[in-house]
């Protein structure tokens, strides 16, 4: 059972290893939603995510004998770092099984805390099966990333901090992977104030909690293919589901494209790096009627490797028409390229890349192709540039934008 006494105990214990993550008021998101939106920046924790809370509290409840056996877990990255950090604090060995597709930054940071890392499988569920095998073989103590009520209790300490800092909070939004975070947060929030509405958010391509609630029991999805790797879980925790069904008011799903936009919003407006899973609670805001409400979005983590970050930024800029490409056909004679460049310059377009193809047509006097990749201020500006090219007689054709 999850009890208020346990939550209070956990809230004191996790303070030994957590950094205070005070709420950040978001003027931008508040203006977008009509409510007062605050961010709970768990991406600023020592390990870059909230997972340290549940891992440390769980390990604190283990006997000396169980800790001495060595700990093992499976994780897509954030729980891995939480267990590794907590194990180091308690002076015990930790082995972490991670999916082979885990971002390098998460793998390296897990190793930096002294844990042994084993890479196995494509998703969390594959890694978890391997971790159970190793636990059986070597006698390790398994620390489950979400299907454990002590872990959920540790994660729920976030709700204690939110309510203490913002007692009149109306909505709390939290990402859902396996369900540990939403279980702890929703249960404690309802204990402290039953009027608080708790909204869970899942990636649309890994909506395992939604599927479980519809079925009335946990189910295994055929796949969990999403850029929100930290919540790419095929099956939620058995122990979590009853608490979620009782305490969570609504679950919404978010498409990967929406996370790309949310990443840009967070970087540009708050100067913060938040991983895709941590952005679920931000991307979901637009789906809710929050006018006049006080809302807290939990940013669950910020462990994102630079290559992924670069890809997300590129896709975000293209998605918002701040980068686009056009193809124009020109006679193969001197001065034509200058005319195109002049037309673009007059509309304040910024050329990023040019490709000049003389072999698009057998009759080079009739046409050569010029592909131009441009930077714009947004959709309106892009449309003005295209209209100017059309007015100049170039007949521009929009093509897929690529920066490489």
| Catalytic residue ranges | 51, 300
d(CA 75, CA 170): 32
Instruction: DSSP letter for 101, please.
Output: T
In 65-110 the beta strands, taken as DSSP E runs, fall at 71-74, 94-98
Instruction: DSSP letter for 50, please.
Output: T
Closest among 302, 275, 4 to 157, alpha carbons compared: 4
Token pair 């540790």: residue: 154
Instruction: DSSP letter for 287, please.
Output: G
Tokens of 349: 């377009």
Closest among 397, 388, 334, 344 to 365, alpha carbons compared: 334
**41 phi, psi to nearest 5 deg:** -85, 70
Token pair 């462990």: residue: 303
Cβ neighbours for 34, distance < 8 A, ≥ 6 positions apart: 290, 291, 292
- DSSP helix/strand/coil, 374: strand
Instruction: DSSP letter for 42, please.
Output: G
Residue 348 has a CB neighbour count (10 Å cut-off) of 12
Task: Give strand pairing partners of 104.
Answer: none
Cβ(316)–Cβ(263) below 8 Å = yes
Instruction: DSSP letter for 348, please.
Output: T
Alpha helices in 276-399 (DSSP H): 280-283, 306-319, 336-346, 379-391
Cβ(248)–Cβ(200) below 8 Å = yes
Cβ neighbours for 212, distance < 8 A, ≥ 6 positions apart: 218, 219, 235, 236, 241
The CA-to-CA distance between both ends of the chain, in Å, stands at 54
Cβ(374)–Cβ(323) below 8 Å = yes
**Cα atoms in the Cβ-side hemisphere of radius 13 Å centred on 47:** 30
């Amino acid at each position: 059972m999850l009890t208020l006494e346990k939550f209070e105990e956990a809230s004191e214990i996790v303070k030994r290893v957590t950094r205070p993550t005070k709420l950040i008021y978001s003027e931008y998101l508040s203006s977008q939603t009509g409510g007062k939106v605050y961010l709970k920046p768990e991406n600023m924790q020592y390990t870059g995510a909230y997972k340290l809370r549940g891992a440390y509290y769980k390990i604190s409840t283990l006997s000396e004998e169980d800790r001495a056996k060595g700990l093992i877990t499976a994780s897509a990255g954030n729980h891995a770092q939480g267990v590794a950090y907590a194990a180091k604090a308690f002076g015990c060995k930790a082995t972490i099984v991670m999916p082979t597709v885990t971002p390098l930054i998460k793998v390296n940071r897990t190793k930096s805390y002294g844990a042994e890392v084993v890479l196995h499988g494509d998703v969390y569920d594959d890694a978890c099966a391997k971790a159970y095998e190793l636990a059986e073989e070597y006698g390790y103590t398994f620390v489950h990333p979400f299907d454990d009520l002590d872990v959920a209790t540790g994660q729920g300490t976030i709700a204690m901090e939110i309510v203490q800092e913002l007692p009149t909070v109306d909505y709390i939004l939290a990402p859902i992977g396996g369900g540990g975070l939403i279980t702890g947060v929703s249960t404690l929030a309802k204990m402290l104030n039953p009027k608080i509405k708790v909204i869970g958010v899942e990636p649309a391509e890994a909506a395992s909690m939604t599927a479980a609630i519809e079925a009335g029991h946990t189910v295994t999805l055929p796949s969990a293919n999403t850029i929100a790797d930290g919540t790419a879980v095929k099956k939620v925790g058995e122990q979590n589901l009853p608490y979620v069904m009782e305490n969570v008011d609504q679950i919404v799903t978010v498409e990967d494209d929406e996370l790309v936009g949310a990443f840009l919003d967070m970087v540009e407006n708050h100067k913060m790096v938040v991983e895709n899973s941590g952005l679920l609670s931000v991307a979901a805001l637009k789906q809710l009627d929050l006018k006049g409400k006080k809302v807290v979005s939990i940013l669950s983590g910020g462990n994102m490797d630079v290559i992924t970050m670069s890809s997300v930024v590129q896709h975000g800029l293209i998605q918002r028409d701040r980068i686009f490409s056009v193809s124009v056909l020109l006679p193969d004679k001197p001065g034509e390229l200058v005319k195109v460049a002049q037309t673009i310059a007059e509309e304040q377009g910024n050329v990023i890349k040019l490709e000049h193809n003389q072999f698009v047509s057998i009759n080079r006097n009739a046409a050569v192709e010029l592909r131009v990749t441009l930077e714009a201020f947004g959709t309106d500006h892009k449309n003005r540039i295209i209209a100017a090219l059309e007015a100049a007689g170039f007949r521009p054709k929009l093509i897929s934008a690529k920066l490489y």
